[in-house]
Structure formats: C-alpha cells, structure tokens
Amino acid sequence: MAYTLYDKLWNSHVIREEADGTVLLYIDRHLVHEVTSPQAFEGLKLAGRQPWRISSIVATADHNTPTTDWDKAEGTAAIDDPISRQQVETLDANIREVGALAYFPFKNINQGIVHVVGPEQGATLPGMTVVCGDSHTSTHGAFACLAHGIGTSEVEHVLATQTLVAKKSKSMLVSVEGDLGAGVTAKDVALAIIGKIGTAGGTGYAIEFAGSAIRSLSMEGRMTLCNMAIEAGARAGMVAVDEKTIEYVKGRPFAPKAEVWDAAVAYWNTLHSDEGAQFDTVVELPAAEIVPQVTWGTSPEMVIGVDGRVPDPALEADPVKKGSIERALNYMGLQANTPITEIAVDKVFIGSCTNSRIEDLRAAAAVIQGRQKSPSVKQVLVVPGSGNVKAQAEQEGLHHLFLAAGFEWREPGCSMCLAMNADRLEPGERCASTSNRNFEGRQGQGGRTHLVSPAMAAAAAISGHFVDIRQF
Amino acid sequence: MKAFTQLNGLVCPLDRANVDTDAIIPKQFLKSIKRSGFGPNLFDEWRYLDHGEPGQDCSQRPRNPDFVLNFPRYQGAQVLLARENFGCGSSREHAPWALEDYGFRVVIAPSFADIFFNNCYKNGLLPIVLAAEAVDQLFRECEAQDGYTLTVDLAQQTVTTPGGTSFAFDITEHRKHCLLNGLDEIGLTLAHAEEIRRYEEVRRQQQPWLFA
C-alpha cells in the first residue's frame, strides 16, 4: 500500500484507537513558551500530577520579551511591563520546578522565537510529533514532522500524559512545480497558496507541500511556507525529507551523533509520500504564475501580486465576501483600484517566526545597497529570530548595513508580529511586515498590516511605498 | 470541566466571516496567568471605544453602540451565531475562555478553525457546525424576532428553533461523552497509562535519538 507522508507520521504515533476514530497520539517534542503554559502548569499542580517525560520539553520566553535595553537591569528586571515580567518569571519558576531537556530563558544566547529555536538547536528532528501552545507550530513540518498548535488544556494534557486525544485530518497535496522567478520567495509562495485556496481552504486538512519549486527552497524557506499553513486553515503543513533536511540537522546541539545518526538518517529517508499515494485533495499552483505578493486587507487571503490593484467590492457578487472587502478597505484606509505600488507605509517590521532567520535577514540586507530608509518612514525594526541568528548576522556584518540605512537592530523575540511587548503600531499606522497575520489590531489597535517578504519589506522601507522587487 | 446537556438560550448574531481569535480576545489580555476573568474583554476592540488594558474596570469604559454584543436585546445571550471560519488564527485558548466567561455555552457557524474548535470542547463550550443555508435561516429569524432563542440538545444532537424546525449536528462519540458528563480528559487518558508506557518503550528501542 502506498502511504502519504502524513499517513506515515500519523500511523507511527498512534498508541490506541477508539471505534469512532479518536486516537491517543504520542508526542515526541513539546515546545513551551510563557504565554500559553502558566495555566497548564498550574492545572498539573492542582491535580497533583507529575509531568510524564520532561526530556520532551524545550522551553523559551519569546512573546513578551522586550527587544531593547536588555542591559539596563539584571535578568527579568529589564522587562518594564510588570504583567509581562510576571509571565516570564512564571515560566522560569515552572521550568525550575518541573525540569526540561532545555530551557533558554530571557537573555540567554540560545533564546528566541520558539519556532526558530527548535530547529536551530536540532530539537526538531524529522519524523517527530511536535506540539506547542502556538498555532505557528506548523513551522516544524518543514522537517517532515507532524507539527501543530494546541490550546492550553492540551498543553496540560501533553505534560501529564505525553499524548493528545486526536482525530486524523484529511490530506491535501499542494504541488508547486517549475522555477520560481527572480525576487519570488517562500513567503510569496505561501501567500499565493492562501490567496488561491483561502484562509479556510485547508481547514480539516494536513497539507503536504511538494513539487520542484518546494524542493528548491532552503530549509529556512520551507519553514516560512509550513509556518503559514495555519493561515490557510491547516493545523499542520509538511515537506518530505531530502538531503537539505539532513544537512540542516547535522551537527546541531540536540541532533543524534555517531552510529545513532546513521540509524536516524536511514529512517528519515523513508519520510516522504510513496509513489501513487492518494490525497483527499490536490491543489496545483505553477511556480511561474507566482509574483511577489502584498496583502491589502485584514485576512491573509486578501492578497494580490505587487503589480495588481486594491480590489473593488462593487465587482464582488457574494454579499458576505463583498461586506468583508468593504469592511477591510475601511479598516485599512484604502480606496478600491489603487495600484499596490502607490500605497505608502509608515513603519516596516522585519522579523517573526515566519521571516526572522538568517536567510531572511540576508535577503533584506541585500536590498539596501548603500541606500537609506525613506524619510517618510518613521521606523524600521529588524528583529532577529534568536540570539544565535543575531550573532550570525553580526558576524556577517548585516547589522552594520541595517544601521547605516537607518533601520533599528533589535534583540530577538516575537516583537511586533503580535505586539505583546512594547513594539507596536499606533492607530492608523501602516506597516510593511514580514510576519504572518494582517488581522485587525494584530500589530497594535488600529494598526494596518501588509504582509510581504523580507526583500519587499526592505524595499518598501527605502522607497516609502511598496515596490516591485523585480524592478528594484 | 462543566458538563453540557441541554440549553435553551438567547441568541446573539455576529454577522462577520473569518472572526479571528485576536478579535475574540486581543493580545494584551494574554499576559494573565489565570484561566478566568476574560469575559469583560471578549471582543474588546469591537466592543469598546477606548483602548483596553488588563486589570481595568470595564464597566466604566465607553461602549461601541454599533457592536451587536452591546445591543440591549442581546444581553444575556448564551448562543453565539457566527459565519464561516470562526476562531481562525492564534491557538490561544483564552478565546473559548473569554466566550465561556462572558456566558456563551454554544457557538453555531457554518465552519470553524480547527484549533479553536478543539479548544472549545475542553471548556464546556459546544461549537456546532450547521449547513450555510441553515445558518442563514437562523440569522434571518434571529434578526427578525426579539428574544429569539434556540434549544440545543447534546444527547439528541439537535438545534431547534422556536418555530419547531430541528437541525441535526455531528459530534464524535468521545467528545459527546466527555461533554455530557463533564469529564476530565487527562484522567481518562491516564487510565491507559500502561499502554502509553509500552508504546514508549518500543519507541525508545527503535528510535533512541528521540529520547536523548
């Protein structure tokens, strides 16, 4: 029988199955951060339960942590907001009490966005089930993992039992064949797929991304793509193992070594869909059709090529969709039919679990070429995904390029992707952002977010408005 | 967990598609380390005219009179009627916590985002998927009639209108059983602890690198 990659990952983790198809699924890796875990640790304690296997836990603080002035006070005292500080300190205390395979607290060199840290440390390995109380856990599917976000009750369930009660999703193959054009990145592929199938297109599915264009992506690019599977409605996205996967994992701190490595690689090389495996749904998107993307609305599916115009609600027949477009244009302060390249931005954010890895920072820096940010742009934040990404970028001198252009070079964290810390948009401000969500208020109440690739964000910072990176 | 069996509750219609969990409970309220108290900040940016921060007394804040949750006729609603892809975005369980804390026990929509859907069951909140035409009908009836209520019967898996029309809905046996009896799912899973241990032992031998 021919199995999909998803079948293989699922089947190898089923402990028991009920008559209605509900299974007990074993969890290999549990990533933990400060926002969605305190109630789970408290629940565990109140019930008098012990964690099942602490060697599955990798924890870091990322959502609340500030990106400036780390040196102004000792430890967490450098976090100004007392409620944020309490949440970070609660994680410190919980991990101290419970234990973990690894904990990277605030200011640790290995600290950073949990979905950057896991792969970087080799804590994310092919074939694993990976969960975290964060919807962007789908990122780890880039390593042929079954990886998805869970709620806090499930965080507690995994802590206590090393399992999840789950039901198998349907399978979707998203195939992108051909060569991506110059200036077209994994981010553009992700946004183009969401534009095609919609933000609910993947609901109820696990998506496998395949095709020559996907195989051509680096591991960083595949992480960007799988990261945004959730924005297409799919809890999990994944890519088969190939030599790039194995090369990326090799030598990382928590990767297997010596003869165990060889056994692991032999197994990992089986992690692909078999020839002739059947998917419930197949979506094909020719690579040649994908151009650099810019979102114009308040949902990631409200996206268009940079050479396009803001859509006109008058042309939409469906009343619910028409209402959504009108509401989005009103919130975004945009007129129908405006060329995308005429939209001016106030701020630029380069960072997030989608686009804060070294490749992303290199792409943004490469655009600058001695130029300055536009005087009309108030602020350009560059927030590396982890302490290690920051160190690597500094070793390559990228920070000098950013600083010379008038960009701000910050400490690692989630930052203005969700604006839980001090980095945020003011009401009405418009931002070119490399993050993953353009929802109302996501980057600050009243803020207006346009999702783009790192190169497109840097180019908008320099020009003061969106530009087609292919002509920049 | 609170059990859910039957409910006859006032319905509030939220006529927007793709309502995301950032809208249901904005990020600043996620800094809490508690599980309760999120109700006053449910839909905070739509419900109030000012900017909300944790710890505020919300009773004194200016309300948005155009937001449906603030309409006098929908005060005390226990059933939220919504459009497709409700609960998309962030996995924050604070979203069902806020809905439940506000007083909702049921959310009806043509479709839900997967993680939100799953989170609801852990909190005694019943998410019900009905066909788009059925949801359209409920929106029409609800907007036309003051004090519009729906009867939800979990054992029978039905939603019944005041006019007597009944819609059936699906739910897995496992979820139904847990919800009807208000069961602690962790306790149920731990009843299989031996099986989990046996599985883990085999896995440890076959893939030792996972247990390093």
State whether B113 and A28 contact (CB < 8 Å): no
A47 vs B contacts (CB less than 8 Å):
184, 186
B174 vs A contacts (CB less than 8 Å):
18, 20, 22, 165
Whether A345 is covered by a domain: the verdict is yes
For residue A146, the SS3 value is strand
pLDDT, tens only, A365-405: 999 999 999 999 999 999 999 999 999 999 999 999 999 99
State whether B26 and A204 contact (CB < 8 Å): no
CATH number at residue A103: 3.30.499.10
The CA distance from A63 to the nearest CA of chain B, in Å, is: 10
Q: How confident is the model at residue B136 (pLDDT cuts 50, 70, 90)?
A: very high
Q: How far apart are CA B3 and CA A414, in angstroms?
A: 37
Q: How far apart are CA B108 and CA B158, in angstroms?
A: 12
Mean pLDDT, rounded, for B127-139: 98
**Which H helix or E strand runs over A45?**
helix A38-46
Residue-level pLDDT at B184: 86
- For residue A243, the one-letter residue type is E
Considering CB atoms only, which of B27, B83, B173 is closest to A20? B173
The pair of structure tokens assigned to A404 is 């010379």
pLDDT over 80 at B212, yes or no: no
Residues A79 and A201 in one domain: no
State whether B91 and A439 contact (CB < 8 Å): no
pLDDT, tens only, A23-42: 999 999 999 999 999 999 99
Residues A73 and A174 in one domain: no
Considering CB atoms only, which of B51, B85, B186 is closest to A203? B85
CA-closest candidate to residue A454, choices A370, A373, A349, A372: A349
Q: How far apart are CA B83 and CA B64, in angstroms?
A: 21
Residues A299 and A183 in one domain: no
Indicate the DSSP class of residue A67. Answer: S
Whether A410 is covered by a domain: the verdict is yes
Kindly report the three-state secondary structure assignment for every residue of A162-200.
CEEEECCCEEEEEECCCCCCCCCCHHHHHHHHHHHHCCC
Whether A3 is covered by a domain: the verdict is no
| Domain topology for B6-181 | Aconitase; domain 4 (3.20.19)
Residues A84 and A131 in one domain: yes
Q: How far apart are CA A400 and CA A382, in angstroms?
A: 12
Q: Is B210 exposed, middle or buried (0-12, 13-18, 19+ CB in 10 A)?
A: buried
How many structural domains are present in chain A? 3
Q: Give how far Cα A331 sits from Cα of A272, A335, A382, A433, B58, Å.
A: 43, 11, 26, 17, 24
List phi, psi (to 5°) of B166. -115, 130
The CA distance from A153 to the nearest CA of chain B, in Å, is: 7
Phi-psi region of A122 (alpha: psi -120 to 50; beta: other; left: phi over 0): left
Residues A13 and A128 in one domain: yes
CA-closest candidate to residue A237, choices A211, A207, A269: A207
Helix extents (H) in A233-382 = 243-249, 258-268, 319-332, 358-368
Whether A422 is covered by a domain: the verdict is yes
Residues A309 and A409 in one domain: yes
Residues A463 and A314 in one domain: yes
Determine the residue among B27, B84, B94 to mutate to test chain A binding: the one whose Cβ has the most chain A Cβ atoms within 10 Å. B27
Residue-level pLDDT at B58: 96
Q: Given CA atoms A230, A236, A239, A244 in this order, what sign does their dihedral have?
A: positive
Residues A223 and A148 in one domain: no
For residue A95, the SS3 value is helix
b/e A430-446 (16+ beta carbons within 10 angstroms → b)? bbbbbbbbbbbbbbbbb
Residues A203 and A216 in one domain: yes
Please count the residues of chain A. 472
Whether A268 is covered by a domain: the verdict is no
Residues A216 and A251 in one domain: no
Please tell me the number of Cα atoms within 13 Å of A232 on its side-chain side: 30
pLDDT over 80 at B135, yes or no: yes
Considering CB atoms only, which of A21, A162, A203 is closest to B196? A162
Considering CB atoms only, which of B16, B172, B190 is closest to A22? B172
Q: How far apart are CA A315 and CA A147, in angstroms?
A: 39
B45 vs A contacts (CB less than 8 Å):
440-441, 445
Kindly report the three-state secondary structure assignment for every residue of A371-425.
CCCCCCCCEEEECCCEHHHHHHHHHCCHHHHHHHCCCEECCCCCHHHCCCCCCCC
Q: Nearest 10 degrees: CA dihedral of A385, A390, A393, A397? A: 140
Determine the residue among B115, B116, B194, B197 to mutate to test chain A binding: the one whose Cβ has the most chain A Cβ atoms within 10 Å. B115
The CA distance from A391 to the nearest CA of chain B, in Å, is: 27
CATH number at residue A238: 3.40.1060.10
- For residue A182, the one-letter residue type is A
Strand ranges (E), A34-149: 57-60, 102-104, 129-132, 146-149
CA-closest candidate to residue A465, choices A370, A359, A338: A338
ipTM for the complex?
Answer: 0.96
Q: How far apart are CA B30 and CA A84, in angstroms?
A: 9
For the residues of chain B, what is the DSSP string, one character each?
Answer: -----EEEEEEEE---SS-BHHHHS-GGGGG--SSS--GGGTTHHHHBSS---TT--GGGSPB-TTSGGGSGGGTT--EEE--TTBTBS---THHHHHHHHHT--EEEES-B-HHHHHHHHTTT-EEEE--HHHHHHHHHHHHHSTT-EEEEETTTTEEE-TTS-EEE----HHHHHHHHHT--HHHHHHTTHHHHHHHHHHHHHH-GGGG-
The pair of structure tokens assigned to B6 is 């039957």
Q: How far apart are CA B143 and CA B12, in angstroms?
A: 9
Whether A2 is covered by a domain: the verdict is no
* Cβ A240 vs Cβ A212: under 8 Å: no
Residues A127 and A219 in one domain: no
Q: Give how far Cα B185 sits from Cα of A14, A61, A156, A165, A228, Å.
A: 17, 28, 10, 9, 30
State whether A161 and B193 contact (CB < 8 Å): yes
Q: Nearest 10 degrees: CA dihedral of A59, A61, A67, A70? A: -90
A149 vs B contacts (CB less than 8 Å):
91, 115
The CA distance from B165 to the nearest CA of chain A, in Å, is: 25
**Spans of chain A, pLDDT less than 70:** none
**Which H helix or E strand runs over A207?**
strand A205-210
Residue-level pLDDT at A117: 98
Q: How far apart are CA A147 and CA B159, in angstroms?
A: 35
pLDDT, tens only, B172-204: 999 999 999 999 899 999 999 999 999 999 999
Residue-level pLDDT at B2: 84
* Cβ B167 vs Cβ B158: under 8 Å: yes
Residue-level pLDDT at A35: 97
- Give me the residue spans of the domains in chain B: 6-181
Please count the residues of chain B. 212
Residues A191 and A160 in one domain: no
By residue range, what is the domain housing residue A379? Answer: 293-471
